[in-house]
Amino acid sequence: MNQPKRNRLPRYRILTAAVLLFYASAGASPLTLPMAVEETLKNNPDLLSAEETVSLARSQVEKAKAAYWPKVGLYAEALRADAPSAFLFKTIDQRLFDPGTDFNDPGILTNIEGGLEMQMPLYNGGRNQLAVAFSRSGLSATEARRTSLQRHLISEVINVWYDILSSRKFIDIAEESVRTVTAQLEAMTIRYKGGSALKSDLLSLKVRLAEAEERLLASNNRLKLSRAALFTLLGQGPDTPDSLAVGDPFNDWSPPPYTEGLAHALERRCEIKGAQAMVDQAGTGVRTAKSGHHPVVQLAGRLYADDDGFDHTADRANWSVALRMDLPLFSGFSVEADTRTARARERSAETLRKKTLLQVRLDVKNAYLRYDEAIKRHQVAENAVAMGEESLSLVKQQFEGGSATITRYLEAELDRNSARIREAAAFYDMKKALTAIALATATSDNGPGSLFALHPAPSTEQEK
Residue 175: burial class (beta carbons within 10 Å; 0-12, 13-18, 19+) = middle
CA distances to 211, 252, 356, 407, 412 from 399, in Å: 21, 43, 61, 10, 11
How crowded is residue 394: how many other Cβ atoms within 10 Å of its Cβ? 12
pLDDT of residue 247: 67
pLDDT of residue 453: 39
With beta carbons less than 8 A apart as the criterion, state whether 47 and 40 touch: yes
pLDDT of residue 432: 87
What angle (nearest 5°) sits at the alpha carbon of residue 166, between those of residues 162 and 170?
170
pLDDT of residue 452: 46
SS3 letters across 357-418: HHHHHHHHHHHHHHHHHHHHHHHHHHHHHHHHHHHHHHHHHHHHHCCCCHHHHHHHHHHHHH
Q: How far apart are CA 171 and CA 245, in angstroms?
A: 17
C-alpha distance across the termini of the chain, in Å:
46
238 backbone dihedrals φ, ψ, rounded to 5°: -70, -15
Residue 259: burial class (beta carbons within 10 Å; 0-12, 13-18, 19+) = exposed
Nearest to 154 by CA among 64, 52, 36: 36
How crowded is residue 391: how many other Cβ atoms within 10 Å of its Cβ? 16
SS3 letters across 82-134: CCHHHHHHHHHHHCCCCCCCCCCCCCCEEEEEEEEEEEEEEECCCHHHHHHHH
Nearest to 228 by CA among 143, 220, 129: 220
pLDDT of residue 251: 64
pLDDT of residue 250: 63
Longest pairwise C-alpha distance within the chain: 140
pLDDT of residue 211: 85
With beta carbons less than 8 A apart as the criterion, state whether 378 and 271 touch: no
pLDDT of residue 62: 93
With beta carbons less than 8 A apart as the criterion, state whether 167 and 227 touch: no
With beta carbons less than 8 A apart as the criterion, state whether 437 and 261 touch: yes
What's the number of CA atoms in the CB half-sphere (13 Å) around residue 9?
4
Strand intervals (E) in 24-86: 71-81
Per-residue pLDDT of the chain (464 residues; tens, 9 = 90+): 444 444 443 443 444 344 334 434 444 567 777 788 888 888 888 888 999 999 999 999 999 999 889 999 999 999 999 998 898 898 889 888 888 888 888 889 999 999 999 999 888 888 889 999 999 999 999 999 998 888 888 888 888 888 888 888 899 888 888 888 888 788 778 877 877 667 877 787 788 888 888 988 998 999 889 888 888 888 887 877 767 776 666 666 778 899 988 998 898 888 999 999 999 999 999 999 998 889 999 999 999 999 988 888 888 899 999 999 988 888 888 889 989 999 999 999 999 999 999 999 999 999 999 999 999 999 999 998 899 888 888 887 887 777 777 778 778 888 888 888 889 999 989 888 888 888 888 875 443 333 443 333 333 344 44
What angle (nearest 5°) sits at the alpha carbon of residue 392, between those of residues 390 and 398?
105
SS3 452: coil
pLDDT of residue 312: 85
| Helix and strand counts by DSSP (H, E) for the chain | 10, 4
pLDDT of residue 416: 86
